[in-house]
Amino acid sequence: MTEETPGFEEKPDVPSGATPEDAEPKAASPSSEEAAAPAGDAQSAGLVAELDQARTALNERTADLQRLQAEYQNYRRRVERDRAAVKEIAVANLLNELLPVLDDIGRARDHSELVGGFKSVAESLETVVAKMGLQQFGKEGEPFDPTIHEALMHSYAPDVTETTCVAILQPGYRFGERTIRPARVAVAEPQPGAQTVKAEETGEAADDKENGGPDEG
């Protein structure tokens, strides 16, 4: 029977040719999944940052496009408005040049001289200018309006209660909202003192009605 030598511990058998380091246990190395986790988080954070930058750039470009579109629409409206104004002025100037001809036609009609071929031409011209938007105004008996009437004659009349056009010396013409020529008229105002007399007569009539009429005998 073999005796154990006191003071010595048994050591594991080491294969021949192996170094002592090979006999010691090795520390566990980190797995590949644990090593890849930090790299994956960094990559995701970078993608999120790039996405935020792309969204910001898209919002800025969208705002620029909307602003540019609004400016273009305003420009188009200005151009159309200016074009319409220029056209209106051109037509108004043309119609203004034709007013003397229309006045001659009106005088010929008043004197029963609008006959034959001249009548046909005159009516055709009046139809054309009416289609272009020319309107004649001015009638006897209408109240005097200094914005559309030009008073050439003035008188007093007992049968009017306000300044009234009693004669149209030359008709006025308008094109749309634009007055090309005011109507030239003769006006009549109430007779001085007529309003006072009329008011007194009205008051006396009211008194007679309250008292049962004028006294008899």
Cα separation, 145 vs 131, whole angstroms: 27
Q: pLDDT-derived band of residue 48, with 50, 70 and 90 as boundaries?
A: confident
Tell me the C-alpha to C-alpha distance, in Å, between residue 127 and each of 92, 93, 132: 16, 18, 9
How confident is the model at residue 43, as a pLDDT? Answer: 80
Top mean-pLDDT range of 29-38, 45-54, 113-122, 163-172 = 163-172
According to CATH, the topology of domain 136-210 is Nucleotide Exchange Factor Grpe; Chain A, domain 2 (2.30.22)
What are the residue ranges spanned by the domains of the chain?
Answer: 44-132, 136-210
pLDDT in the model for residue 50: 86
Which one-letter DSSP state was computed for residue 143? B
- Write down the pLDDT at residue 129: 95
Contacts of 98 (CB under 8 A, 6+ apart): 125, 129
Q: Specify the pTM.
A: 0.58
Q: What is the pLDDT of residues 97-156, one digit of tens each?
A: 999 999 999 999 999 998 888 999 999 999 999 999 999 999 999 999 999 999 999 999
Whether the Cβ atoms of residue 173 and residue 180 lie closer than 8 Å to each other: yes
Interval 59-83: pLDDT, tens: 999 999 999 999 999 999 999 999 9
Residue 56 to residue 50: CA distance in whole angstroms? 10
Distance of CA 211 to the CA centre of its chain: 64
What is the three-class DSSP state of 135? Answer: strand
Residue in the structure block whose two tokens are 């005998």: 217
